[in-house]
Amino acid sequence: MPATHSRSFRDGKTLAGELRAAMGRVGVLGVTYPDGYCDELIAKYGKDGVPYPHILSILGEPRIRGHFFYNRMLQRTGPFLDYGCGTGDNIRQLLRDGFSREQITGFDLTWESINLGFDLYRDRDAIRALFVVNDMFSFGEETFDTVYSGSVIHVIADEDELCGYLNNVWRVLRLGGILFGSTLGLEDGDTCSPDNQGPPRVMPRADLIRHLYAAGFTGPVLVTRPHEAHHPGDKKCVFEFCAKKVDE
């Protein structure tokens, strides 16, 4: 299982402030809210907090749309899996961009983040059928043409679990299928200070490439994007990656 994350916000941010900001971003996309709705959400999530606070902080700004492979992804017509779909932000972006809803599946281990997305987008009845939640990854072999992994790898602390995650992707992809996604990392030779509120896994570039090859993928491409530094000397970056399944 992914390592337990803090449910507290960093850099002085608060649940109320981040909920209001998220509602503002989602509102730009056409979602409207009844009077008092924000207060209802603050009360609902105030007791236990939200899973992965960073997800709320970026909700309404789907990261998939800026990925270097995304435009090519939209030209693909086969089944698509968002493996570790979180709030479902990226799935909604696919729908807005005209990708066939019949080909979309979002998978996660719990409903927590997905329900947060439903509460902010107010679309539970409209898209709930696109999501699969289970503590077991039980899709059949060669089910999908494309798998997306958005900010998942860096929350998997256990080495065996990471290998299992990537092996699952290999198993469910058809030959010629594509895995693409993003994760926090480090350029080779860089280091980062311990961060109790940060991700449990921040891999150097070479380690990420090694894990992709070990799972059976070929030709991995990595593009480095900047990451907002949370303290002086923070050298973390974002790796966008893409790799292909070929014959073993």
Please provide the size of the chain in residues.
Answer: 248
Token pair for 198: 């940060």
CB 180 within 8 A of CB 69: yes
Residue whose C-alpha is closest to residue 182's, from 212, 151, 205:
151
- The predicted-structure confidence for 197-229, as pLDDT tens digits, reads as follows 677 888 999 999 999 999 999 999 999 998 876
- Is the pTM above the cut of 0.85? yes
- Provide φ and ψ at 60, rounded to 5°: 100, -5
Residue 5 pLDDT > 60, yes or no?
Answer: no
**Residue predicted with more confidence, 227 or 92:** 92
CA–CA dist 220, 19 (Å, integer): 37
Helices (H), 47-174: 53-58, 70-73, 89-96, 112-121, 124-127, 159-172
- CB-based contacts of 220, cutoff 8 Å, min separation 6: 208, 209, 212, 213, 241, 242, 243
Flag whether pLDDT at 60 surpasses 90. yes
Are 147 and 83 within 8 A, CB to CB? yes
Instruction: Look at 135 and 234; give whichever has higher pLDDT.
Output: 135
pLDDT band of 53, cuts 50, 70, 90 = confident
The answer to whether the beta carbons of residues 179 and 149 sit under 8 Å apart is yes
Residue pLDDT, tens place only, 17-35: 999 999 999 999 999 999 9
**Confidence check: pLDDT of 241 > 70:** yes
Query: What's the mean pLDDT in 166-185?
Result: 97
Average pLDDT along the chain: 91
* Nearest-angstrom CA–CA distance, 28 and 21: 11
